[in-house]
Amino acid sequence: MAIAVALLLAPHLVYPLFLINILCFILFASALNLVLGYAGLLSLGHAAFFGGAAYVTAHAAKVWEMPFEVAVLLGTAFAGLLGLVFGLIGIRRYGIYFAMITLALAQMIYFLAVQMPFTGGEDGIQAVPRGTFLGIVDLNDIAAMYYVVLGATVAGILFLWRTLHSPFGHILAAIRENEPRAISLGLDVARYKLIAFVLSATLSGLAGSLKVIAFQLASLSNVSWHLSGEVVLMTLIGGMGTFVGPIIGSAFVVTLEHMLATSGLPISLVVGVIFMGCVMLFRRGVYGETRARLKAIVERDRA
Amino acid sequence: MPEIFGVPVVVLLGQILLGLINGSFYAVLSLGLAIIFGMLNIINFAHGALYMMGAFVTWLCLSQLGLNYWAALVVVPLVVGAFGIVIERLFLRHLYRIDHLYSLLFTFGLALALEGLFRYIFGAAGKPYPVPQELTGVFKLGFMILPIYRAWVIVAAVTVCVAVWLVIEKTKLGAWLRAATENPSLVTAFGINVPLMLTLTYGFCVGLAGFAGVLAAPIYQVSPGMGSNLIIIVFAVVVIGGLGSIGGAILTGLGLGVIEGLTKVFYPSASTIVVFLVMVLVLLLRPSGLFGKEN
Nearest chain B residue (CA) to A277:
B106
Q: Containing H/E element for A84?
A: helix A68-90
Give the single-character DSSP code of A37.
I
Residues forming a β-bridge with B222: B127
Q: What is the full DSSP assignment across B145-202?
A: EEEHHHHHHHHHHHHHHHHHHHHHHHSHHHHHHHHHHH-HHHHHHTT--HHHHHHHHH
Q: B59 CA to chain A: closest CA distance, Å?
A: 21
B24-59: per-residue pLDDT in tens? 999 999 999 988 988 888 889 999 999 999 999 999
pLDDT at B83 over 80: yes
Residue A58: CB atoms within 10 A of its CB come to 31
Nearest-by-Cβ selection for B284 from A89, A265, A273? A89
Chain A residues in contact with B101 (beta carbon < 8 A): 42, 95-96, 99
Q: What is the full DSSP assignment across A144-168?
A: HHHHHHHHHHHHHHHHHHHHHTSHH
Q: Is residue B2 part of a domain?
A: no
Residue A278: exposure state from Cβ atoms within 10 A (0-12, 13-18, ≥19):
buried
Chain B residues in contact with A94 (beta carbon < 8 A): 295
| CATH code assigned at B198 | 1.10.3470
More confident residue, A94 or B149: B149
- Flag if A280 and B94 touch (Cβ within 8 Å): yes
B106 touches chain A (CB under 8 A): yes
Q: A296 CA to chain B: closest CA distance, Å?
A: 22
Give residue A274's identity as a one-letter amino acid code: I
A79-120: per-residue pLDDT in tens? 999 999 999 998 878 778 888 889 999 999 999 999 888 888
Chain A residues in contact with B111 (beta carbon < 8 A): 272
Residue A171: partners with Cβ closer than 8 Å, 6 or more residues away: A182, A187, A192
Q: What is the pLDDT of residue B293?
A: 64
Q: Containing H/E element for A127?
A: none
pLDDT at B144 over 80: no
Residues forming a β-bridge with B127: B222
CA angle A270, A274, A276 (to 5 degrees): 120
Give residue A105's identity as a one-letter amino acid code: L
Chain A residues in contact with B273 (beta carbon < 8 A): 108, 111-112
Domain boundaries, position B243: 11-285
CA angle B257, B261, B263 (to 5 degrees): 115
Q: Is residue B105 part of a domain?
A: yes
Chain A residues in contact with B235 (beta carbon < 8 A): 100, 103-104
Residues of A with CB under 8 A from a CB of B: 42, 44, 89-90, 92-97, 99-101, 103-105, 107-108, 111-112, 114-115, 225-226, 229, 232-233, 236, 265-276, 278-280, 283
Residue B243 CA to its chain's centroid (Å):
14
- Flag if B283 and A226 touch (Cβ within 8 Å): no
CA gap A83, B221 in Å, rounded: 35
The answer to whether the beta carbons of residues A161 and A31 sit under 8 Å apart is: no
Residue B283: partners with Cβ closer than 8 Å, 6 or more residues away: A89, A90, A93, A101, B239
B226-B227-B231-B232 Cα dihedral, nearest 10 degrees: -50
Chain B residues in contact with A107 (beta carbon < 8 A): 232-233, 236, 276
pLDDT at A165 over 80: yes
Split into its structural domains, chain B has a count of 1
Q: If pLDDT is split at 50, 70 and 90, which confidence band does B173 have?
A: confident
Domain boundaries, chain A: 2-224
Q: If pLDDT is split at 50, 70 and 90, which confidence band does B74 have?
A: very high
User: Which range, B75-84, B149-158, B239-248, has the best average confidence (pLDDT)?
Assistant: B75-84
Interchain CB contacts (distance < 8 Å): A and B = 123
Helix residue spans in A185-284 (DSSP H): 189-215, 225-238, 245-263, 267-281
CA gap B58, B69 in Å, rounded: 7
Q: B96 CA to chain A: closest CA distance, Å?
A: 12
Residue B137: CB atoms within 10 A of its CB come to 11
Q: Is residue B48 part of a domain?
A: yes
Q: Is residue B25 part of a domain?
A: yes
CA gap B16, A266 in Å, rounded: 39
% of chain A surpassing 90 pLDDT: 48
Residue B164 CA to its chain's centroid (Å):
13
- Flag if A268 and B119 touch (Cβ within 8 Å): yes
- Flag if B273 and A111 touch (Cβ within 8 Å): yes
B267 touches chain A (CB under 8 A): no
Q: Is residue B245 part of a domain?
A: yes
B108 touches chain A (CB under 8 A): yes
CA gap B241, B127 in Å, rounded: 33
CA gap A66, A73 in Å, rounded: 10
Interface test with B, best of A88, A98, A265, A279 (most B CBs within 10 A): A279
CA gap B77, A196 in Å, rounded: 44
CA distances from A5 to A20, A251, B98, B103, B177 (A): 16, 18, 42, 41, 62
Closest by CA position to B12, among listed B219, B256, B258? B258
Backbone angles phi, psi at A272, to 5 degrees: -60, -45
The answer to whether the beta carbons of residues A168 and A192 sit under 8 Å apart is: yes
Give residue A205's identity as a one-letter amino acid code: G
Mean pLDDT of chain B, nearest integer = 88
More confident residue, A73 or A100: A73
B26 touches chain A (CB under 8 A): no
% of chain B surpassing 90 pLDDT: 43
Q: If pLDDT is split at 50, 70 and 90, which confidence band does A4 have?
A: confident
pLDDT at B295 over 60: no
ipTM attached to this prediction: 0.87
E strands, A22-78, are none
Number of H helices, E strands in chain B: 11, 4
Nearest-by-Cβ selection for A275 from B108, B236, B284? B108
CA distances from A204 to A25, A140, B204 (A): 9, 23, 40
- The two beta strands, A137-138 and A132-133, are antiparallel
- Flag if A115 and B272 touch (Cβ within 8 Å): yes
- The two beta strands, B7-8 and B3-4, are antiparallel
pLDDT at B145 over 80: no
Q: B235 CA to chain A: closest CA distance, Å?
A: 6
Closest by CA position to B227, among listed A272, A275, A120? A272
Q: Containing H/E element for B61?
A: none
